[in-house]
Structure 1
Amino acid sequence: MAKKKSYSLRTTVAVMVSAVVVLVLLVLYIIFRNQIIPQTRHALEDKAITIARTIALMPLLSEGLSEGNSKGIQAYTSKITRRNDILFVVVMDMNSIRYSHPDTSKVGLPFVGGGQEAALRGQESMSEGTGTLGNSLRAFVPVYDGRGHQLGVVVAGLSMDRVQRLVRQNEWTIIAILVSGALFGAGGAFVLARRIKQMMFGMEPADISRLLQERSAMLESIREGIIAIDQEARITLINMEAHRLLKAAGINGAVVNRQIADYWPELRLEHVLASGEGRQDQELELGGISLLVSSLPVRVGGEIAGAIATFRDKTELAVLAERLSGISVYADALRAGAHEFMNKLHVIMGMTHMGLYDELQQYILGTANNYQQEIGAITRQIKDPAMAGFLLGKLSRARETGIELLLTADSYLPESADSQVIHELITIAGNLLDNAMEALGGPGSDEHSGDVHSRDVHGRDVHSNKRIGLAFHYEEGRLLCEVSDNGPGIPEALREQIFVQGFSSKGEHRGIGLYLVRKSVDKLQGHLQIAACGGGQGTTFIVDVPYAAKGEESQ
């Protein structure tokens, strides 16, 4: 089957508009031909009968017909014929004998061509006839004397050739006007088609239809809810995910063309439209569902044409973040373990090269025992497997950077009854430990750190200039987490600013860690305090949160 030929939008619009213009002009031509052309004939008939009436009222005609004198009538009608540009004026008596004629030899002879019968009975009439002067359009008007007696008839004639010529002139004038209109209409159609094509960015209707379907499919397939409004704050778009989330929150009913303030007032999208400033990652509680919302103005040509909001269930994001956090912990642990393993392999290779086999055996046994003791100490004190794996990764990372990470001997963390709480605790501990490592690795940290002796998880004496202490204390449904370092400390003036999102003294694109700590502590309805800030005393963060242990486990 042959593929149907398709035409471009410009050609289609131009042809369709031109066809409409031609059709309209054709109808107008028919109307004009049936109205104006007959009016031309009527105008000529009115001219002829008006001339005949005027002549019939002249006393000269009634006197000449009464006296039988044709000379005066002939002279007068000859003047009238020349001045009014008509074919002839003939005056006849009641016996149809001519008293005037353009050809003086015809005066005194009977009228030729007929049609005067009605006029001889006192009635005006119009007719076409062929006489001595050819085919003509004639007007017949009776002539009366002063007492009302009919004396004869006046005939004013127009040449039919002239009548047809005037009719054809008017017809061609109409045709010229309509053809000009058709040309202007066609030109306007092409200009309109070009303008429409430009407004549609040069795309064909099929392209627009396909693009609309693709965009609609994309909007419906993404995992975020989307709501868009126009300049009047009316909802113009909402995708299926937005419907699902809002329905779960108890918001139902028709959506499109409703005011956003009536449909979802907490979103405050009309304020984004008015101010032109967006909002990122704003938490909203709606019908028991916690949503993370971002709102942005929509600009077209530099002007605000609307606003759009995207949102997602925060619980889903938390689950995803928990998975990513676990992967990150495992990745850190593997990377640090690989680094340590390479160092130990270098030692083994060197001792093998030197032939120190007895010492090599003792080194391998000691390394294995230390590793098992470290894992054993962590698993004895930290009963939650996710937190234990996390801390093993941090211990390896700290050793890699030359920092001692010490878990206090009296620390204890039972397994949590709620995995979400452990996720938040990993966020809190992870960011506090990372912040402490950065503080110890920063400029001037050696100046404020002294030689401090303590005991590690194995009970051995340790000695380091860079040290981080970590402690977990659980008692009667409460958990105390303490992270301390012997770095330069935090100035008193920055004590509140460090928890503001984006604030950092370490450069741009930082300042998120402590903000997440405060956010997680608030979510767990706990307390956060800072001790020993500044003055070279280091920094201590103390977090106190509710904690439900799994089963009846206790310290």
Structure 2
Amino acid sequence: MRFTTRVLLLQLLTVVAVVATSTAVFIGLSMAQLRDEAETSALMIARTVAAEPEVRELVAEEAQDEENPPAEELAQGQLQQYAVAASQSTGALFVVITDQNGMRLAHPDEDLLNLLVSTSFSEAMEGREVVAWERGTLGESARAKVPVFAPGSDTPVGEVSVGFERAGVFDDLPRKLLFIGAAALLALVIGLIASLILRKRWEKLTLGLQPEELVVLVQNQAAVLDGVGDGVIALDTDGVIRLSNGAANRIFGILDSENLTLADLDLADDVVADLEGGTARDGVVANGRVIFLEARSVDRGGQALGSVIVVRDRTDLMALSERLDSVRAMTSALRVQRHEFANRIHVAAGLVEAGRMQEATEFLHTMRSRGPVDYPLVGVELITEPFLQAFLGAKSLEASERGVSLQIREETLVLGNVAEVEDVATVLGNLVDNAVTAAVASDELRLVEVTLLDDADQLVIVVADSGPGITPGADPFAHQPKKLAENDQDSGQLKDHIHGHGIGLTLSQDMAQRRGGEVWLVEPGGEKSRRGAVFGARLPDVMEPDDSVNYREVQEEDK
């Protein structure tokens, strides 16, 4: 049996029980009301008869006679006539008048006159009124007994007893029961209709799922949401977020996304429009993270329920790709360096074999000061750190192919060795590549200048280009979906297109911040400054001291 059917039957049984209980209570109250009304009517009639002056006078006279008059005389007496008239006018079963000894002076049955009443009259003779249900010669009735006082006295000389028969008391009960039954039937019908409506509503809200299925659904939901590394966001048909797992909240940097919209997550309008249209978006930057978003509509039984958005954090993957590019650049540089170094060693060996020792010595000194390869890197002699020299040398080769000159500024001073090669290569390579792209957009001098300074374990990088600079009001670290080729007026550093996603600066900034450092815009450049943009980076814990360098001598030379 389906759960909704069980609920319907339970509701019907509840309604029936409530209606039956209410009906019984109403019937009991109605019977009690009818009894009270009969007793009250009997009491009021008895009081009226007992208070009649003629009745008081006649009963007092009869009470003074030592012998009771015969029944025939009483039947023709005024008390009998008065009692019969009162009984007929009020509809009472009987109106009985007695003396102080309980002898009947008036009674509906003339044969019972001058006889002792069948019920107690002692309380009335004590001056108290009595209302009770009793059985007498005329059957069970609701009766009231009221003392009759002598004229001008408080001494009881008799009593008046008025009664209504049981059948007459409950004459109105069938009519009341009819109304009660109709009301109960109406309540049952209303309860049935309400139960059916509630059942339909329940099935609509739960999409026809039973409680057992709902339990399994909740278990599966918890397993899916909390058991996967991807973020999951569920939206209703109005685009309001109704559910999100912890991974999605962490990616967007919020505690709870419920009742928010996609626009509230700082997503661009075009990204929101694509997701609403069911189009996946890759390379979206939000909260300093590079994410992939995929939207899928959800329906059940032809009823649209909304959509589910899967959020994948691609930051680490993109950072790894950046590092891989840096490794490739280093591999290419080392391959060129090895080939060139081998050639120079052959030259040095030839000079030695030819006995030209002076020339061989000068040649080797030149190799030591300028490096094993002739890079098109201006100021290469300012860098003695092997990795930085080789990496920037390789970058200078790439820049030279694009018509850009890469130069090391004289302020450069690096005494230690690079310990975290991948992070330095990623940040430095990204800044240099962006600067080269910006310099290519320049119609005049195409120049990129790099300044490197180390302080203990920190490396500070400053990269300047001769490009057009950053567009005023633009955020160079924000994702820029448009291409640079449209007007050539924006800095390449603003619209970084590494891998076509425009997220290189964002990745570099995120990587530096993870290490406790930073990447920032030093100067936006532009037409007013007549120079390109200048970016700076500070990377802690990436350098280690070089044991072969006497730092004290270097400091004295600087002084």
TM-score (norm 2): 0.52
Matching of residue 145 in structure 1 with residue 144 in structure 2: no
The answer to whether the Cα contact below 8 Å between 2:524 and 2:533 also exists between their aligned partners in 1 is yes
Q: Residues of 1 paired with 2:103 and 2:318: CA distance?
A: 122
**Partners of 1:384 and 1:190 in 2: CA distance:** 83
Deviations 1:156-213 (A, max 9, x none): 2322221243455555555554554454455455556666666778765445544544
Indicate if the aligned counterparts of 2:103 and 2:117 stay in contact, CA closer than 8 A. no
Which SS does the other structure have where 2:543 is aligned? coil
Among 320, 323, 337, the residue aligned to 1:323: 320
CA RMSD between the two structures: 6.3
Indicate the residue corresponding to 1:426 in structure 2.
426
Residue deviations 1:133-163 (CA, integer Å, cap 9, x gap): 6664444444443356665543323222212
Aligned ranges 1:313-352 → 2 under 5 Å = 322-329=319-326
Question: Offset at 1:218?
Answer: 4.9
What residue in structure 1 maps to residue 31 of structure 2?
37
Greater Cα shift, 34-43 or 523-532 = 523-532
Q: Does 1:490 align with 2:494?
A: no
Taking structure 1 as reference, are residues 120 and 471 closer, same or farther at Cα in structure 2, changes over 3 Å only? closer
Counterpart selection for 1:162 from 168, 177, 182: 168
Native 8 Å contact 2:468 2:527 kept in 1 = yes
Query: Contact conserved, 1:329 with 1:393, CA < 8 A, in 2?
Result: no
Deviation at 1:37, TM superposition (A): 2.4
Q: Which residue of 2 is the match for residue 230 of structure 1?
A: none
Aligned to 2:53: 59
Cα 1:155–1:414 shift into 2, 3 Å: same
2:495 corresponds to which residue? Answer: 510
Displacement of 1:7 after TM fit?
0.5
Deviations 1:7-53 (A, max 9, x none): 13xx5555555544544444444555555523432331232233123
Kept after mapping to 2: 8 A contact 1:432/1:513 = no
Where structure 1 has 5 or more consecutive residues not aligned to the other structure, the ranges are 227-236, 246-265, 281-291, 295-311, 338-367, 450-466
Deviation at 1:58, TM superposition (A): 1.9
**Residue identity opposite 1:323 in structure 2:** L
The answer as to whether partners of 1:220 and 1:240 remain within 8 angstroms in 2 is yes
Cα deviation, residue 84, structure 1: 1.5
Corresponding residue SS for 2:96: strand
Q: Is the 8 A contact 2:107 2:113 kept in 1?
A: no
CA distance in 2 between partners of 1:437 and 1:19 (Å): 80
- Maintained 8 Å contact 1:521/1:528: no
2:81 to 59, 65, 75: 75
Conserved in 2, the CA contact under 8 Å of 1:382 and 1:388?
no
User: Is residue 119 of structure 2 the alignment partner of residue 115 of structure 1?
Assistant: yes
After TM superposition, list the pairs within 5 Å mapping 1:451-530 onto structure 2. 489-490=467-468, 499=476, 501=478, 506=484, 510=495, 513=504
Q: Do the aligned partners of residues 15 and 332 (structure 1) sit closer, same or farther apart at CA in structure 2, a change above 3 Å counting? A: farther
Which structure 2 residues correspond to residues 227-306 of structure 1 after superposition, within 5 A?
Answer: none
Distance 2:405 2:537 in 1: 20
Q: Is the 8 A contact 2:203 2:209 kept in 1?
A: yes
Kindly provide the CA deviation profile for residues 202-257 of structure 1, in whole angstroms up to 9, marking residues without a partner as x.
7654455445444544554466999xxxxxxxxxx9988999x9xxxxxxxxxxxx
1:423 Cα deviation after fit: 1.5
**Match of 2:92, as an amino acid?**
I
What does the per-residue CA deviation read over 1:52-97, in whole Å, with 9 as the maximum and x for residues that have no partner?
2321232322444536664433332333223312223233556876
Query: How far apart, in 1, do the equivalents of 2:455 and 2:145 lie?
Result: 130
> 2:48 is matched by which residue type in structure 1?
T
| 8 A Cα contact 1:333 1:392, kept in partner | yes
Matching residue of 1:456:
none
Partners of 2:518 and 2:428 lie apart in 1 by 13
Query: Contact 1:129–1:138 (CA<8 Å) still a contact in 2?
Result: no
Q: Return closer, same or farther for 1:427/1:553 CA change in 2, 3 Å cut-off.
A: farther
TM-score by length of 1: 0.52
Distance 1:32 1:200, change over 3 A: same
**Structure 2 vs 1, CA of residues 111 and 172 (structure 1 numbering), >3 Å: closer, same or farther?**
farther
For the residues of structure 2 that align with 1:53 and 1:391, how far apart are their CA atoms? 129
1:88 aligns with 2:94: yes
| 8 Å CA contact 1:435, 1:513 repeated in 2 | no
Distance 1:545 1:183, change over 3 A: closer
Q: Distance in 1 between matches of 2:396 and 2:85?
A: 129
Q: 2:100, 2:125 within 8 Å by CA — same for their partners in 1?
A: no
Partner of 2:368: none
Report if aligned partners of 1:332, 1:394 keep a CA contact under 8 Å in 2. no
How many residue pairs get matched? 422
Work out the CA distance in 2 between the residues paired with 1:527 and 1:136. 106
CA distance 1:501–1:53, change in 2 (3 Å): closer
CA distance in 2, matches of 1:192, 1:218: 31
Q: Matches of 1:152 and 1:475 in 2, distance apart?
A: 129
Which one-letter code corresponds to 1:38 in the other structure?
A: A
Structure 2 unmatched runs, 5+: 63-68, 233-242, 268-286, 290-311, 345-370, 497-502, 551-559
- Specify the code of the residue in structure 1 equivalent to 2:150: D
Which of these residues, 36, 46, 49, is aligned with residue 43 of structure 2? 49
Q: What amino acid is aligned across from residue 114 of structure 1 in structure 2?
A: S
The aligned amino acid for 1:510 is: K
The C-alpha deviation readout for 1:257-311, integer Å capped at 9, x for no partner, is xxxxxxxxx99999x99xx96669xxxxxxxxxxx789xxxxxxxxxxxxxxxxx
